[in-house]
Structure 1
Amino acid sequence: MWWSEARPVSVPHPTRRAWLLGLAAAPLAAGLGGCGFELRRPPELPYTRIALVGFPPRSPMEAALRAALPSSAEVVQSTAQAEVVLTALDDRTYRIVAASTTAGQVREFRLRAQLKFRLSRPDGRVLLGDTELQRERDLSYTETAALSKQVEEEALLQEMRDDLAQQVLRMLVVAAKKPLPPLPAASPAAAASAP
């Protein structure tokens, strides 16, 4: 008679399996902790009061900057109360046709968010001259999914504004480390009227 003795296969218990996986992953976690891995945080600003001026009413870029500021920084209304003034010279978004069919149907848009700004002290000393930042992304388009593409476009524009806001904050930190420029020269009329 031919027969084989069936032996039960040893399958670890689910909690034992999780314990073994955890034991195997422990050296990896220890390695990450030792390498200096850290989640990205907003930069530590050397300013506690900042004024945002020159933005159009209800500007999404201004809202992105406010959201990106760390909790230690406060946006003030008056430039006299601020330690630093960020003046928006140009705050725009563009949507340009990047590709179309021979029948003239749009197949791809190029989205662009642009911010031109200046950073100064309330007394007029310029910390960072006129600086222009921009981000571009391509967006495929189809007429049959126009509503979902509109939602995707808004999400991409918001992501680009958030990127610009983070870049502005990093530039604020770098500008703060530079020595302060001298006070701007008084105009001859103001100097003549001084006692």
Structure 2
Amino acid sequence: MKKILLIVLCSFCVACGFQLRGSTSIPFKSIYISALEGQPIVTELKRTIQNSGKTLVLDKSQDAEATLQITNARITKHIWSISGSGRVREFQLRYQVSYRIIDIKGLEIAPTSVVTLTRIMPFADAQVLAKEGEERMLASEMYRDAAWQIIQRLSKAQPQ
């Protein structure tokens, strides 16, 4: 009975198109990532691209087949909800990354695009230190998610 149930569940998963998120290949042999110093997403992008194993991340733009330019990346924090007594109950964290892809000649392969991610973070005055740690963790998660989305979009780019 358990085997039949397992087979039926697997059949449903296959029929709906479910598949595990695997590595994504980028249509470039080499890429350079251009961004302002200290942008956390650069580390995530490099790690994700290098883990794919097919594309080299180079330190110089003149040697790269394509350049991924991070034109803007910022995280903001806004009050999302307030209690009846006027205290903050939740914050919204928003991470927004603008990027474009250019080839070795400086021609645009993919125009400027924006990835926007948001997370809602409950807040309690009594747990300020814990909430700071949670905020750092959510920000780190957003950097990873944004890098993954950019890589997914990069995989669809057509080299010229």
Task: Tell me which interval the TM-score lies in, with the shorter structure as reference length.
Answer: 0.7 to 0.9
Between the aligned partners of 1:89 and 1:37, the Cα distance in structure 2 is 34
Between the aligned partners of 1:99 and 1:135, the Cα distance in structure 2 is 18
Which structure 2 residues correspond to residues 1-195 of structure 1 after superposition, within 5 A?
A: 21=2, 23-25=3-5, 27-28=7-8, 31=11, 35=15, 37-57=18-38, 59-69=39-49, 70-101=52-83, 103-176=85-158, 180=160
Q: Which runs of 5+ in 2 are unaligned?
A: none
Structure 1 residue 67: Cα displacement = 2.3
Change (3 A) 1:85 1:27: same
Between the aligned partners of 1:92 and 1:163, the Cα distance in structure 2 is 14
CA contact (8 A) 1:55 1:62 kept: no
For residues 24-58 of structure 1, give each alpha carbon's deviation from its aligned partner in whole angstroms, at most 9, with x where no partner exists.
Answer: 4553376368646531113221112110112322x
**Corresponding residue SS for 2:74:** strand
Q: TM-score scaled to structure 1, two decimals? A: 0.70
**Corresponding residue SS for 1:55:** coil
Give the aligned CA root-mean-square deviation in angstroms: 2.3
The higher relative CO (CA closer than 8 Å, separation ≥ 6) is in 2
Q: Percent identity between the aligned chains?
A: 23
Change (3 A) 1:105 1:30: closer
Q: Point out the structure with the larger strand share.
A: 2
Q: TM-score scaled to structure 2, two decimals? A: 0.84
For residues 137-194 of structure 1, give each alpha carbon's deviation from its aligned partner in whole angstroms, at most 9, with x where no partner exists.
Answer: 11110011122222222222222222211211122122226xx3xxxxxxxxxxxxxx
CA contact (8 A) 1:50 1:82 kept: yes
Give the total of aligned pairs: 157
Between the aligned partners of 2:83 and 2:12, the Cα distance in structure 1 is 49
Between the aligned partners of 1:63 and 1:104, the Cα distance in structure 2 is 39
**Corresponding residue SS for 1:45:** coil
